[in-house]
Amino acid sequence: MNITGKLLTLTAMSCLTACGGGSSGGAPAVIAPPPPPPVNQASGGIWYGTLSNDMNMVTEEFVALTADDGSIRLISVDSDVQFHGTVSVTGTNMSGTVRAFADSGVNWLDGNHVVDASITAVISERNSINGTWENASGEFGGFEFFYDVLYEKNADTGLLADVWTGYDDFGNPDVTFTINPNGSFSGQNAMGCISNGQFTVINAAYNLYEIQSQIANCAIAGSYSGLAVLADLAAVNDALLVSIDDGVLPILLGLER
What is the model's pTM? 0.84
Task: Quick: pLDDT tens for 63-119.
Answer: 999 999 999 999 999 999 999 999 999 999 999 999 999 999 999 999 999 999 999
Rounded to 5 degrees, what angle do the CA atoms 238, 218, 85 make? 60
* C-alpha span between 112 and 116 (Å, rounded): 10
The CB density around residue 206, as the number of other CB atoms within 10 Å, is 21
Residue 210 zone, left/alpha/beta (φ > 0; ψ -120 to 50; rest): beta
* Residue range 107-161, pLDDT digits in tens: 999 999 999 999 999 999 999 999 999 999 999 999 999 999 999 999 999 999 9
**What values do phi and psi take at 165, rounded to 5?**
-130, 135
Are 241 and 251 a contacting pair, CB within 8 Å? Answer: no
Q: In this model, does residue 18 exceed pLDDT 90?
A: no
